[in-house]
Structure 1
C-alpha cells in the first residue's frame, strides 16, 4: 500500500497540540510499519528530528508553501506517476481536489462552541475547511469520544466513519523524578520559589486563564506558574492580552509567574516541583498536558466539560470552568491536604499508563488498512 502523509504541521519547531500529534504519528509509523510505502509531503526540508529516509520511507518537498492545501497538495496528487492508495492529513484540512482517498484528523470543534475566541481569519478557515474535510474524507480520526460525539451531532457524521485514537506522551521524559536538587535548579531558573500550581499550554481565551488568575485573589501562600509562549519565533497563543493584564487587574502580580516558552526537557522538572497541574479550559479536544502531568505523579485539576474527564478519569479533580469559586476550592483542597495529594498522585500515574503514542499509531494504521480495503 502506498500512503502519502501531509507532514506540514509536523515539520515545525516547538511543537504543541496538533503539530506534536502529527510528529508523533510520523515517528510511530516509521518505527511500526515496514510493510507499506510512505511518502511524507513537506513544504521544506525535513527537520533533524524527523525519521531518516529509508526504503519505504521518503520525503517530498512541495511548492508553493503559502497555498499548500489549495495548490501544492492537489497538484502533487494529480501529477504523480504512481498514485498513492490514500492521503492522510493529521490536521483538519484535506485538499479540495484529489484523485485518491483521503483520511483526515479532526481534533475538536471548539470553534463551533466558542467562535468569539478565534481570530476572524482562523475562524473562517476552520469553519469552511473542516466542514469540507468531514464531508469528503473517507474516514475521520479524532482524539476523544467527546470530539466523536460532536462530529456526529454538528456534522451528522455516521459513527462508523469515525475512529477515536487517544494521544500519548513520552514515557522517557514525563515520569516521577527523585532528584530534588535538579528540580529546584530548574524551577529557580524560571524565578519560581516556594509552593506553586502549574498550567502548561497555549495562552488563548479558550484556556480560561483569566478566571484561574482571579481565583488566586483568595489563595495565599501558593503561586500560579503559567508556561506558554506569547512572543518570538515558533508557535504561540493568541488574543492573550487580557490574560497578561489579569494579575494586575486582580491584584495578584506577586503570585502569578509567566515563564514564557519552556523547552520539553524542563517540563518534567516543573511538573514534579508543582503541587498540582491545572487545566481550567472551556473546551479541549483531549488534554495531553494533563496526561503528561499525571505521568509525573502530579495531581491534575481539570474542567468537567468536553474530553477532559476522559483524559484524567477518576484520578483527576473536576471543576466547573465557569466558576471561579470551584477553581479556588479545588486548588485549596489539593494544596492543603498532603494525604489527598499523595492519593491522587498514585492514581494519576496509573491513569496516565492507559495512554501511549504506540497505541495511537496502531489505531491510525488500522484505519489505513481498512480504508485501502474498501
Structure 2
C-alpha cells in the first residue's frame, strides 16, 4: 500500500492526538505492508516525521490569535482545502489518513480518525467560533471518508448514530500509553520532581487541558471536602495546556494554593510528564466526556491508582482497575479520592490490576488494527 499520513498534530503543544499521530507514524514507517509512506502537513509534503517542539514557535501566537477571530477562521476554512487539494494532486493511487478529523478534497481513498464528537454533542464546551468551524469541517469529513476510525466503541456507536453513518465502516481502534510511562523508584524520580517542588508519592495528579469539559470545578469541590490535613499532605497538582474559559478555575486554584492544597504547574516539558505520573500517589480524572481518556491509561501504566468518572468511554479504558463514579457526584468523588489516598489494601490491588489492564493496550496493536482498516478500504470492502 501507498499511504499519505497527515502529521499536522505533531506540534506544540503535543496533546493526545499529537502523541497518537507520532506513535502511529513511527510504526507505520516500519511496516512491510506499506511500500511508500508520505508525511503531509499544512499544504505540503515533509521530508521526514517531525518532532514536537517543547516551546511554542514564532507562528504559535499568530495561530492562537487567528482561532479567536471568526472571519480569520472562516477564511482559513475556505482557502486551505483548495491549497491542500492542489498539493495532493497526482497522488490518487495513495490512501490518505487524517489522524485528526479533517479530510481535504482528495482523488484517492481516505480515512479519518474521530477522537470524539464534542464539537457537536458538547459544543458549549468549545469556544463558539471554533465549535462552528469544527462542525462545518467534520460534517464535510464524514461525507468524504471511505471509512472512519474511533478510539473507542463508545465513540464508534455515537458517531454512527449522530451522522447515520454505516456502523460497518467505522472501526474502533484503541490507543495505548507510550513506553516511557512505567513505574519508577523514588530515587529515579526525586531530581525531576524537585524541579517542580514535589516529592515522590507526595501529591495527587490531574493531567489534561484546562477547559470546562474536564470537570475541574467538580474535582476542586470534591478535593476541597477532604480533611485539610489530608489535602496538605497530598496536594492536588494540575498540569496541562492552558485551554479556554478557565478564568474562574484559575482563581479557585490560586486560593487553594494559598491554602496549601492545590497547584497548577502549567504545561510541563514532555520528558517530565512520565515522571510526574509515576511520582503521583493518586491520579484523578473526573472528566465529563472523553473519546478515549489516554491519561487514565498512562497513570495505570505508571503504577498509579486511578479515580475517574464513569462517563462516555472511560469505563472501556479503566476496566475494573479504577474507582469510578458519576462525574457530577461530588460526595461519591470525595469518598473515592479519600479511599484512593488512604486505603492501603485497595491501592495495592489497584496498582496490580492497573498494570495488567494497561498491558492489554499497545501501539503495536493500534498500528496493526489501523493497517487492517487501510487494507479494507484499499480493497473496496
Structure 1 residue 260: Cα displacement: 1.1
* Structure 1 residue 48: Cα displacement: 7.7
Deviations for 1:107-159, whole angstroms, at most 9, x for unmatched residues? 10122232111111210111111122123201001100010110122111111
Check whether the contact 1:69–1:94 (CA below 8 A) recurs between aligned residues: no
> Aligned partners of 2:315, 2:302: CA distance in 1, in Å?
18
Are the aligned partners of 1:209 and 1:243 in contact in 2 as well (CA < 8 Å)?
yes
Q: Name the TM-score, length of structure 2 as normaliser.
A: 0.86
Match of 1:16 in 2: 15
1:354 to 352, 360, 367: 360
Residue of structure 2 in register with 1:284 after alignment: 290
Whether 1:197 aligns to 2:198 is: no
Distance 1:132 1:88 in 2: 15
Residue 34 of structure 1, CA deviation: 5.5
Does 38-47 or 241-250 show the bigger shift?
A: 38-47
TM-score by length of 1: 0.87
Correspondent of 2:217 among 210, 214, 218:
210
The answer to whether residue 26 in structure 2 is matched with residue 27 in structure 1 is yes
Cα distance in 2 for partners of 1:47, 1:35 equals: 17
Q: Which of residues 212, 218, 226 in structure 1 aligns to 2:238?
A: 226
Q: Distance in 1 between matches of 2:257 and 2:354?
A: 33
**Contact 1:167–1:356 (CA<8 Å) still a contact in 2?**
yes
TM superposition shift of 1:47: 9.3
Q: Report the alpha carbon displacement of residue 72 of structure 1 after superposing the two structures with TM.
A: 2.5
Shift of 1:186: 2.3
Q: 1:254 to 1:358 in 2, by over 3 A?
A: same
Q: Distance in 2 between matches of 1:8 and 1:248?
A: 35
1:2-81 superposed matches below 5 A: 2-10=2-10, 12-33=11-32, 35-43=34-42, 50=50, 69-77=80-88, 79-80=89-90
Gaps of 5+ in 1: 52-64, 231-236
What residue is the counterpart of 2:176 in the other structure? 168
How far apart, CA to CA, are the structure 1 residues paired with 2:267 and 2:257?
Answer: 24
Contact 2:193 2:275 in 1 (8 A): yes
Provide the C-alpha distance between the structure 1 equivalents of 2:295 and 2:251, rounded to a whole number of angstroms.
24
The whole-number CA distance in structure 1 between the counterparts of 2:210 and 2:370 is: 29
Q: What's the offset of the Cα at 1:345? A: 0.5
CA displacement at 1:351 relative to structure 2: 0.5
Aligned twin of 2:274 = 268
Per the TM alignment, residue 160 of structure 1 is displaced from its structure 2 partner at its CA by 0.5
Gapped regions of structure 2 (runs ≥ 5):
52-74
State the partner residue of 1:131.
Answer: 139
CA shift, 1:254, in A, is: 1.7
What secondary structure, in the 3-state scheme, does the structure 2 residue paired with 1:192 have?
Answer: coil
What is the CA–CA distance in structure 2 between the aligned matches of 1:139 and 1:201, rounded to whole Å? 29
Deviation at 1:309, TM superposition (A): 0.7
2:197 & 2:48 partners in 1: Cα distance? Answer: 32
Question: How far, CA to CA, are the matches of 1:328 and 1:252 in structure 2?
Answer: 21
Deviations 1:196-222 (A, max 9, x none): 210111111100111111212222323
The question of whether the paired residues in 2 share the 8 Å contact of 1:4 and 1:84 is answered with no
> How many aligned positions are there?
349
C-alpha change, 1:251 and 1:30, in structure 2 (3 Å) is closer
Q: Secondary structure at the match of 2:374?
A: helix
Asked if 1:329 is matched to 2:335, the reply is yes
The SS at the match of 1:301 is: strand
**Residues 247 and 253, structure 1, Cα contact 8 Å, conserved in 2:** no
The 5 A counterparts of 1:300-319 are 300-319=306-325
